[in-house]
Amino acid sequence: MLSQISIFLLDTLLGLFSLALLLRFYVQWFRVPYYHPVSRFLVAVTDFIVRPSRRLIPSWRGLDLSTFVLAWLTQFIMLLSASYLQDYGAESSIIGFALVALIELFRLTLYILVIMIIAQAILSWINPHSPLAPVLESFTQPILGVFRRYIPPIANIDLSPLFAIILLQILLMVVANMQRTVALAFQ
């Protein structure tokens, strides 16, 4: 029972921290204004580790790689710790954990997109001029823009979020299968 509690706490704390790091990476990539409350929160939560890591891991083409590597490292530590607490540590490969952590970041990214598309759709009905609307638009525009080019609004209703969520759900199924395959291959 103690190991279950430890795994739960590790998953929760490191999972939320990894999510904050990944969101910070995307906020900087999509150029969300620095003084937006979401940006300020993510910087405040993660700056203690991101700032020193930038000395070791440089940016590349405007992407803050140190933040992404820290998110991956947090996932890696979380997977390794959970495996150790469940006594699977000796059987698994470090390379396997590294790949599964990278796949987990991709899965987390897909979930972020699904949640943001749903939030954007709800906000467009309730309060389209919300301060959160530009942040959600900057995150979802790359995927929704593709669907908006080919699927016109029907009676002023934009169906692109529906098709984007269907595509993201299919990708989540593919990622889950890939994660299982990698985990089994490196056990």
Token code pair at residue 113? 């997109």
Average pLDDT, the chain: 90
Q: How confident is the model at residue 36 (pLDDT cuts 50, 70, 90)?
A: confident
Judged against a pLDDT cut of 90, whether residue 187 lies above it is answered with: no
Judged against a pLDDT cut of 80, whether residue 88 lies above it is answered with: no
Say what the pLDDT of residue 2 is.
80
* Nearest Cα residue to 133 out of 121, 145, 149: 121
pTM, full prediction: 0.88
